Amino acid sequence: MRILIDGYNLMHAIGAMPRNAAPDALRKVRHRFLNELGALIPPIEAHQTTVVFDASIVLDHLPKTQSQKGMTILFAADDDDADTRIEELIRKHSSPKNLIVVSTDLRVRQAAVRRKAKAVKSEDFWAEMKARKLKPAHRPAVPSREEKARSEGLSESESAFWLAEFGHLESAPETKQALRQHSDFVPTDEEIARIAREVADEPDLK
């Protein structure tokens, strides 16, 4: 468990908690809320998320532990309320510094702080999840023509073009002098073409 959520507290914070709803109507609203929450939380994080609800308004025939969208859903059937169950889960957590507790309830937040867990207000958590969902996926930058040429090399037509334009540089005195200074360097046709293209791109030579 990495994220621990005070269920009805979060529903209330985002305006999803109906007033005076019959148990069956509340179950349907809660189901829709959990579907929306599960859609906002990435799958890996969802499987590390536990949502706790009060059990006083849960239909008797429903299991006290459920799974929805990968999340673990707990109903505090054996506790006074959801806060008591959440405090117990925080107390027993093996790595509380890595735990995120979502609630605006002061009692729950204090329980998180005592064990050095991260306490996040419900409305802030919801806003962050929605912002992450709306953030465009990272797309790799399209390589420039120069970068593509460096990684893939010049095509036959490009090599022929540059050799036709600047092939005479191979016999130029300056080139021969440079080669004498670096006698171990023997450029290929492609390297000559690349050097010629770089020379052509110099602003003062255009």
Q: What is the pLDDT of residues 47-102, one digit of tens each?
A: 999 999 987 655 556 678 899 999 999 998 777 789 999 999 999 999 999 999 99
CA 58, chain centre distance (Å): 34
Rounded mean pLDDT, 93-116:
95
Residue 38 pLDDT exceeds 60: yes
Please tell me the distance from the alpha carbon of residue 129 to that of residue 122, in angstroms, as a whole number. Answer: 11
Q: Residue 105 — very low, low, confident or very high, per pLDDT cuts 50/70/90?
A: very high
Cα angle vertex 7, ends 57, 24, to 5°? 35
Please tell me the distance from the alpha carbon of residue 114 to that of residue 29, in angstroms, as a whole number. Answer: 33
Please tell me the distance from the alpha carbon of residue 40 to that of residue 35, in angstroms, as a whole number. Answer: 9
The structure tokens listed for 35 are 């579907």
Do 24 and 123 belong together in one domain?
yes
Q: Is residue 140 part of a domain?
A: no
Q: Is residue 111 part of a domain?
A: yes
Q: Which pLDDT belongs to residue 136? A: 62
Q: For all residues of the chain together, what is the average pLDDT?
A: 81
Do 63 and 162 belong together in one domain?
no
Q: Residue 177 — very low, low, confident or very high, per pLDDT cuts 50/70/90?
A: low
Per-residue buried b or exposed e for 136-162, using 16+ beta carbons within 10 Å of the residue's own CB: eeeeeeeeeeeeebeeeebeeeebeeb
Strand-pair partners of 66: 73
CATH number for the domain spanning 59: value is 3.40.50
List Cβ neighbours of 169 (8 Å cut-off, separation of 6 or more): 175, 192, 195, 196, 199
Do 107 and 59 belong together in one domain?
yes
